Amino acid sequence: MLDPGKLRGDFPALSLTFHGKSLVYLDNAATTQKPYPVIRAVKEFYEKKYANVGRGIYDLALAATNAYEEARRVVAGFIGARPEELIFTSNTTNSINLAAYSLLASGLLDRGKNIVTSLMEHHSNLLPWYRVAAASGAELRLAGVDGKGRLLMDELEKMVDENTAVVAVSHVSNVTGVVNPVAEICRVAHEKGALCLVDGAQSVPHLPVRVGEIGADFLAFSGHKMMGPMGIGGLYVRSDVLEKLAPPFVGGGTVRDVEINGDVEPLWTKPPHRFEAGTPNVAGAVGLAEAVRYLSRVGPGNVEAHEKKLVEALLEGLRDLNAVIYGPEDPDERSGIVTFNLRGMAPHDLAALLSDEAIAVRSGLFCAAPLMKKLGGESGAVRASFYLYNTVEEVERLLEVLGKVEGMMNF
C-alpha cells in the first residue's frame, strides 16, 4: 500500500503555511503539486539541453530532440501506446479540440452524421463538439445521467447508430468522481462503426489506464493533473485512425516540403509530428516524462486504492454533518473526488472559511454547469479532491473545520 508520509517530502508546496497553519491541499482535480524530480528535470533541460527540436543538426539541438522523443516514449508507454500514437498538446482541452477539428478537417463530420456525448461532461468535452457540430451540420446528442450523476448507459446506447461519427465521454467525472464503463462505451461505438474518444483528465493520473484494454480511438489527458508541468498534455490516437486524419493546425514542423505549382502543395510529415505545429513545449514534455516515472514507481493501482480510503473517510464524516453530497455515496463507485455543500451556506463562503484554515478546495460549478444543474447544485458546490500525497489526518482536519462551521451556523 501507498504510504503518503514517505512521499510528502518530495513536494515542496506541501510544507507551506498560510494564516499560521500548514497547507492542506485538496484541489487535485484542478491541478497537482510537483515533486522535486519533476522540478529538477525541467531545470536541467533549460540548463543543459535547451534548443529547438527537429530542426538543427548541431549537438545541442540533437540533445533536445532526443530528450523530447524519449519523453514521448515514456509517456506513451505509461498508457500502453506506441510513441508514434502520442501527440503532445498543451492540455486535455487542447487535445479534445485537436481531435474534434481533425475529424472536421478530414471530412468525417457532415450533415447526416451525429456526435454522441453526455450531460456529465466537463465543458472541455462538450463545447468542442458543439462547435464542430455547428460547423459541419452534424447533430449533437447528449445522453443523460441519473440523480447521482451516473451515466444512463441504455440511453447512450440508443443514441449511437450507423450515422454516429464519434462518441466522446469522460472516464471519470470531475464533479462526482463517477467512473464510467469506457470499455463498454467504446465497444458500443465500434459496433456501429463510430470512433470513441475518452476524456482521461481525471483518470490517467489516478487509475491504471491502458488504451488497448479500454479500446479507445482517442484518449486525452493533461500533464499538470499528474504532477507534470502546466502547458503540456497528450492526445493518444490509434495508429490506423491517425493515418487517416488531416491536421487542422498547420505550419512549421507539420510538413516535409511545400511545392508551388500554381497552388500550394504541402507534403505532410508522418504522425505524430504532423499534428504538432510550431515549437513544442519540450521542457513540459521532459517534466511530464519525469512525473510519469514517479507515478510508475508509486503504482497507479496503489494511488487508486489510497484515494478510495480517503474518499470513504470523508463520505463517512460528511454523513454526520448537515451536508448535501453530490454523486454516489458508495466510495467504490468513485475516484478520489467528493463534492458537497453544507446546508444553509453558500459554497464560495464555505471555501473562503476553509481557506482561512489553510485548507485548499475548489468551489463553483467546476466547468460542468449542465451536470451541476441536473444534480440540484445550480448555485455551485465545494469539491475536495485527493492525490497520492494526501493523508487521513488531512481528511480529519477538513471534517473538524466543517464541524466548527456548522456549529457556528447553528449558534
Residue positions annotated with a catalytic role: 367
Say if residues 113 and 139 touch (Cβ distance below 8 Å).
yes
Q: What gap in Å lies between CA 232 and CA 230, rounded to an integer?
A: 6
Determine the 3-state secondary structure of 6 from DSSP.
Answer: helix
Determine the 3-state secondary structure of 166 from DSSP.
Answer: strand
Distances (CA, A) of 329 to 105, 148, 253, 317: 43, 9, 49, 12
Task: Give the residue from 219, 132, 129 showing the smallest Cα distance to 170.
Answer: 219
Task: Give the residue from 150, 153, 96 showing the smallest Cα distance to 126.
Answer: 96
Q: What gap in Å lies between CA 260 and CA 253, rounded to an integer?
A: 18
Contact partners, residue 175, CB within 8 Å, separation at least 6: 120, 149, 326, 327, 337, 339, 366, 368, 371, 372, 375, 381, 383
Helix crossing, 300-318 with 282-298: angle to 10°?
Answer: 80
Residue 20 C-alpha cell reads as: 499560521
Q: What gap in Å lies between CA 179 and CA 203, rounded to an integer?
A: 8
Distances (CA, A) of 163 to 167, 187, 192, 205: 11, 16, 8, 33
Say if residues 266 and 250 touch (Cβ distance below 8 Å).
yes
Determine the 3-state secondary structure of 131 from DSSP.
Answer: helix
